[in-house]
Amino acid sequence: MIVLDEQLLGRNLENEISRWYQGEVCFITDLRPGSVIKDDAIPNLLQHANQPTFVTINERDFWRRTEPNQRYCLVCYTLTDSQAHQIAFALRDLLQHSLFDSKAKRMGKIIRVTNHEITYYATSHRKLQTALL
């Protein structure tokens, strides 16, 4: 399951991702319809979903602020709002990387993706790890 942050609504990303991702693609607002979801409530919502990979460009509120949890993966892109349309392709590249190409490998990781590298920490090792794209 890919869960997109609500700030990514209205960009057709869910349809672009669905073209190549076989699982469910939804927005965080679909996990708790009809309510306002604050950033600090998102990790709790993700714990109750089926092994979601949460995708956001809100790096400031999630990277190094969110505790990793074996029930989800969180991916922070360092893209600006005007660059958010790049997420579908960037996410596909990330999910094809040998470190993240299965749910089992992704769960428990908080990942930060820049143009050139991937940095992450996990439940199994809190020290930052780096990989090239």
Domain ranges of the chain: 2-132
CA-CA distance, 28 to 38, in Å (whole number)? Answer: 10
- Predicted confidence at residue 74, as pLDDT, reads 98
- Predicted confidence at residue 41, as pLDDT, reads 95
CA-CA distance, 89 to 113, in Å (whole number)? Answer: 12
CA-CA distance, 91 to 78, in Å (whole number)? Answer: 12
CA-CA distance, 93 to 114, in Å (whole number)? Answer: 12
- How high does pLDDT run on average in the chain? 96
Q: Kindly report the pTM of this predicted structure.
A: 0.96
The ranges of the chain with pLDDT < 70 are: none
Which of 16, 15, 14, 19 shows the shortest CA–CA distance to 3? 14
